[in-house]
Amino acid sequence: MENLYDRDASHVHYTGTIVASSRNGGTGALEVGDGQQRLTSLVMLIKAIHDRDPAKHRALYAHYIERGGAGNQELVLKPNQETALFFRERVLDGQEGTPTRFKSHENIDAACRFFKEWLDEAPGRTEEILRIVTQRLGFIFFMPKHDKEIGIMFEVINNRGKELSQLEKMKNYFIYYATVKDRLRLHERINERWRELLENLSLARLTSTEHEDSFLRNCYLVFFEANKERGHNVYAQMKERYKVAETDTAVVDGAVVEIEGFVEFVAHASRYVKWFYRDQELLKGQPVTEELTTVDRKLRYLRCHPVDASVMPLYLAIMHRTGSWADKANLLSVLEVLNFRLYVLPRVLPRADSKQGELFELAHAYYHRTGEELFAGELQTTHLKRPLAGTATERLLEYMTDVVLHYCPEVKVVQALTMDQEENENYHRWNGLRFLLACYEEHLNVPLHKTFDIQEILKGRGSFGTLPNDHLSVEHIWAQRNLPDDYPPDHREKRRLGNLVLLGMRTNTSVGNESIPDKVKELTDTNSTNKVALKLEQIGKLASTRTRATSMTWPDPSAIRARPN
């Protein structure tokens, strides 16, 4: 747009391609297959120009935005179903602050704000911008003779270099397949389920291309096969699995059934990840029972783990295939322990993705279980060499328990949280530290008949309190830069877990690098007043060390290194 200001007024810029087809009903309306975002953006820009002087641009509104007499107005460009209401409220009615439910809503809201700010920056050029939009922007308009050709265009869209997620590409391919094979019901079902899917992913805040790809990969691992490599390009796997060139009716019928099944599972899985990442969503719209509340509590712990990639397929399989909420609670309880011990604790497994293949196979096997025969081959016995018995749920529970006991028994937990003399672990850099300290805070509150929401660690700056830095943080009791000449910042006593505590950030910024006695006094005094957003029991517990800390003398470095963890 900016480049057209200085060009010859007769110059027309071709903005892109529009692919459309006739809609049923003989109304003359067209359904846009590609180019919706370009058209929507231009309509929003025209509406922003109109709003600067509605009386002057009344004809502009009637031509580009809404046509028809009073009571019979119709939008010139009608958005899709999940966007229609938001488009009317935010764009046409100008209601700022309209709640967003989909990624597309967020994009529309951002575009509205951008166009207004852009026009405000150059008020004298509004009419010139309008002339460019209405007279100097062109499109290559493609309207296939047969609707089946629209499906072919979807493949062109998928492979022309435009950044689309695997999820979007797969949807386009499935619609293409349904169109070419004349499976109208499949086409309709995909569109129906995709609306729910996008809303759930938006609520879970999984809206980036990376998030959508990861979500689809987990669904593939559970539904089709536990193959990590092939799971990284699900779109290619779908094209290979469901070939458009296939003409055998029986094969096509089977493919349609399988596609429908996968679409259903993906839609359900989007609901499960919404429950996983969004607090309280599980409890909405259904009777709250003790079992349901227990599941919600287990999800709070999992939600606070810094990593979850290795157990997400297993979580999806558990939520989809386990019958009762009580059984779900039991399985999720062990799953949370498994994820913490194997993937959150430091130095338990050699790599962040170690043993993933086994857990993915476990998820796939549980999803496709038949009666009591849960696993095949090596998975018929546990790591502790005990044969599996009972129902599928009981077998899975037993197997996961033995995975934990085999790879990370209690003795290994202790080893992971302590340091030998030669180890160089720095627990302040451990990504699971805030979770562990939050669990400790929760533990300290129990005998006091108080509650502490472990999810406080998920809140960032400004999430609670009145100041921008009111949030939980981690502080060294013995500051890294205290007595640096004798005890450098990487001194073992400063790196160990017992030297770290969870506290409000306002306290963090006020104590700095004071000596331990002064710092403990400052921390405990501040924690007992209204200067912090949250009063923490672990800070209060430091008060018992004040006398000992006050009388502490500093030995030479060799003496302090000999102290236990």
Which among 341, 196, 359, 210 is positioned nearest to 274, based on CA atoms? 196
Measuring CA to CA, how many Å separate 269 from each of 204, 240, 334? 12, 23, 20
Distance from C-alpha of 199 to C-alpha of 85, rounded to nearest angstrom: 14
Q: Output the furthest CA–CA distance in the chain (Å, rounded).
A: 92
Per the CB < 8 A criterion, the answer to whether 516 and 552 are in contact is yes
Residue in the structure block whose two tokens are 């963890």: 565
Report helix, strand or coil for 19. Answer: strand
Residue 560, class by beta-carbon neighbours within 10 Å (0-12 exposed, 13-18 middle, 19+ buried)? Answer: middle
Per the CB < 8 A criterion, the answer to whether 53 and 119 are in contact is no
Which among 463, 414, 455 is positioned nearest to 438, based on CA atoms? 455
Give the per-residue SS3 of 172-195: HHHHHHHHHCCCHHHHHHHHHHHH
Taking only the tens of pLDDT, the chain with its 565 residues reads 666 666 666 667 777 778 777 766 556 788 887 778 888 999 999 999 999 999 999 899 999 999 887 777 889 998 887 888 899 999 988 888 888 888 889 889 999 999 999 999 888 888 888 888 888 888 878 777 666 666 566 555 555 545 789 999 999 899 989 988 999 999 999 999 998 999 999 999 999 999 999 999 999 999 999 999 999 999 999 999 999 999 999 999 999 999 999 999 999 999 999 999 999 899 998 889 999 999 999 999 999 999 999 999 999 999 999 989 999 999 999 999 999 999 999 999 999 999 999 999 999 999 997 545 555 555 677 888 888 888 889 989 999 999 999 999 999 999 999 988 788 889 999 999 999 999 999 999 999 899 889 998 887 644 444 444 446 778 888 888 888 888 888 888 899 999 998 876 554 455 567 777 887 877 777 666 556 657 788 887 776 654 444 434 444 444 444 444 4
Per the CB < 8 A criterion, the answer to whether 32 and 39 are in contact is yes
State how beta strands 137-142 and 13-22 pair: parallel
Distance from C-alpha of 135 to C-alpha of 139, rounded to nearest angstrom: 12
Helix residue ranges, H only, 181-289: 184-203, 209-223, 228-231, 234-241, 249-277
Distance from C-alpha of 437 to C-alpha of 68, rounded to nearest angstrom: 63
Alpha-carbon torsion, ordered 28, 33, 35, 36, to 10 deg: 80
Residue in the structure block whose two tokens are 């990590």: 228
What global pTM score does this model have? 0.80
